[in-house]
Amino acid sequence: MINQKVLVVTGASRGIGAEIAYQAALAGYYVVVNYNKSKESAEKVCERIKADGGDCVCIKADVSDETQVNSFYEQVMELCGRVDVLVNNAGISSFSLFTDISSELWDKTFDVNVKGQFLVTRAFLPSMIHRKEGRIINISSVWGICGSSCEVHYSASKAAIIGMTKALAKELGPSGICVNCVAPGVIDTDMNKALSPDDMKALADETPLCRIGTSFDVAKTVLFLASDDASFITGQVISPNGGFVI
């Protein structure tokens, strides 16, 4: 059994998820690094954490697969005995004109981005309710707030996460569980690798703080919501976006 507070982060093999895992470990959490396909990348995240004195474990699971999610939950509980913070970060994105979005792409986007958060939360929630405490932090996107051209499927899935967060916060408040949403702006990660340097510069120029965000910016927002300082915050959408959307 683990004596530290336990933080689970899905989709943590790279980008925002990896940085959340690393910063959480530095803050003293025992971190469960979830991944699906990128085992080598997830192991590198764990190596980085352990090199700097943190504690963690890598566990594979496809969040869109109910059987794998339930197995993931059982492995976490057997190892850790509890989960204090659940960060639903796993997600996929792609660019496409609305008229070119196939039913398969629409379903896949919602399966990972929305159904994945539903399945993982449903698995871990009973133990939090039993203890009358816990934090659930769902990662959405600024595009879930204002929408993005050529990303209707992605924007719609991220908007669904915001609605789920708000509704679940009302339901779980009496159980002492805070549910919040982080909706990052344009962040310098692989998810935006399809954008050219000129596109990224244009987005930075549109941002009042005149820069693109980093995974560190998002991770620190997540850790604030996980902390005791945020004990009276629930059902909120916090968007680290440099003023891109106000």
Cα–Cα dist 30/234, whole Å: 23
Write the Ramachandran bin of 11: left for phi over 0, alpha for psi from -120 to 50, otherwise beta. left
Sheet holding 237-238, edge to edge: 55-60, 30-35, 6-9, 85-88, 134-139, 177-182, 237-238
Cα–Cα dist 190/19, whole Å: 13
* Residue in 29, 35, 73, 154 annotated catalytic: 154
Contact call for residues 155 and 147 (beta carbons, < 8 A):
yes
CA neighbor of 80 nearest in space, from 31, 44, 119, 40 = 31
How far, in Å, are 179, 182, 239, 241, 244 from residue 210 at the CA level? 31, 21, 16, 11, 9
154 is catalytic: yes
Instruction: Give the catalytic positions in this structure.
Output: 154
